[in-house]
Amino acid sequence: MSSPRRFGILNINKPASVTSRRVVDRVVELVWPDKAGHAGTLDPLATGVLVVCVGKATRLIELVQEQPKSYQATFLLGRQSDTDDVTGTVTEVAGAPVIARVEIESRLPAFVGRIEQVPPSYSAVHVEGRRAHELARAGQSVELTPRIVEVFHLEITRFTYPELELDINCGSGTYVRAIGRDIGRALGSGAVMSALVRTRVGPYRVEDAIPFDQLTHATLNRSLLDPRTAIAGVPNRVANAEETELLRAGRGIPIGACTIAEGASGKSVAIVDEAGALLSLARLDVDTNSLRPYRVFID
């Protein structure tokens, strides 16, 4: 008799010097024949929350990636680097001033809200079909265009020159290395990131994460979270057996008893069975008075 397929989410505390790919590979080893994928990479330098989706939960990766993230980031002022962190070629900035805390605090408001940010040259951003870091490592010049990112909160948590520690809460696509780089430039000092801890991704917090070196078959099964944790706050709609078959075929079902605001066309709804298991994510279609599935988790 085959074992039941896994369908859930892992909150893993990634250590430094381990790639996100290595973490996923370890999970794949433990959950085979189920698949797994991470919902937002962490550089080898970084530690903290790495969300790994298992089985059909890989269809939730994009939704997890879109959730806000929190970081504790450490920077060294008076330095610059080709990678914007200490893993690259670090040089001291000639004539860099010794910065006072009050000067840094005066600059921070400019980096909160919707801001323009140029990604680091050593990043996963695509440039003409290739990753920017691949071009940079090949010695090719990388010209990246600014893009809009969102920073919700930015606060100094520790400062003893030249070391600056910031608490950062930001939206998807924000490069923390670039925040430090740009603050350093604004100060006329330069800055490189020396340490990074991702403390939260949406509802997944580092204090609740399982350490990577403790991953075993037993601990993984105990740590596998309900996939609905990725869509907390999304209204639910219970489907009966007939509606479940419609969803299985990719067809819509009547709106029925669903706590969703009238006129909110396109709003997501989580469709569950009577036991609360996630069957599908659907969008409200007011024209047909139905819920149209766009992610289906039923085999």
Let me know if 43 is a catalytic residue: yes
Range list for CATH 3.30.2350.10 in the chain: 7-67+203-230, 69-198
For residue 262, the model assigns a pLDDT of 47
Alpha-carbon gap, residue 13 to 23, rounded angstroms: 10
Range list for CATH 2.30.130.10 in the chain: 234-296
Name the amino acid, one letter, at 296.
V
Q: Which CATH superfamily is domain 69-198 in?
A: Pseudouridine synthase (3.30.2350.10)
pLDDT tens-place string over residues 247-290: 999 898 988 655 554 445 567 889 999 998 999 999 988 777 88
For residue 263, the model assigns a pLDDT of 42
Alpha-carbon gap, residue 135 to 183, rounded angstroms: 26
Could you tell me the pTM of the whole model? 0.89
Given 25, 34, 43, 82, which residue is catalytic?
43
Residues of the chain with pLDDT under 50: 1-2, 135, 261-263
Domain 7-67+203-230 CATH assignment equals 3.30.2350.10: yes
Tell me the CATH number of domain 234-296, given options 1.10.3720.10, 3.40.50.261, 2.30.130.10, 3.30.420.40: 2.30.130.10
pLDDT tens-place string over residues 225-247: 999 999 888 888 899 999 999 99
Residue pair 146/118 in contact by the 8 Å Cβ criterion: yes
